[in-house]
Amino acid sequence: MRVLVVDDEHLIADTLALILNLKGFEALAVYSGQQAIETARSMRPHLVLSDAMMKGVSGIETAGEIVRLFPRCYVVLFSGQASTVDLLKQARESGHDWEVWQKPLHPTTLVERLNNIRAKLDLAGID
């Protein structure tokens, strides 16, 4: 499963991508919403794991654009900020109902949850 990891904190993005690659995912880290959108065009991710609150283009805006390009892409947002609630409300009003996980998330829990998502997704026909 191809996972695009998006966080403007380079250490977090790199660490998550490293963990996921070690656990059998094809993960790539990027550091901004704009970079994620550009990368998604060529990567065609099955899943986007993005910080909700980033400078510039937010994770919610990023996810919306990627899902517009690739409607079958699964989105998980993570955040450590309470202000994310308002942005998620706006996303839901636009028809998006993405999972939101709280930071910090233990690596074992992260991999377990992503494996559960991978098991649910029908990746046939998604390239």
The pLDDT of residue 46 is 95
pLDDT surpassing 90 at residue 101:
no
Closest CA to 33 of 70, 77, 2, 73: 77
The pLDDT of residue 68 is 95
- The larger pLDDT score, comparing residue 58 to residue 7, is at 7
Task: Name the one residue in this structure whose structure tokens are 């377990």.
Answer: 112
Describe the crossing of helices 84-93 and 59-69 by its angle, rounded to 10 degrees: 30
pLDDT surpassing 60 at residue 127:
no
Question: If you average pLDDT over residues 18-37, what whole number do you get?
Answer: 97
pLDDT tens digits, one per residue of 39-93: 999 999 999 999 988 889 988 899 999 999 999 999 999 887 666 666 666 677 7
pLDDT surpassing 90 at residue 124:
no
Closest CA to 125 of 66, 70, 48: 70
- The larger pLDDT score, comparing residue 34 to residue 93, is at 34
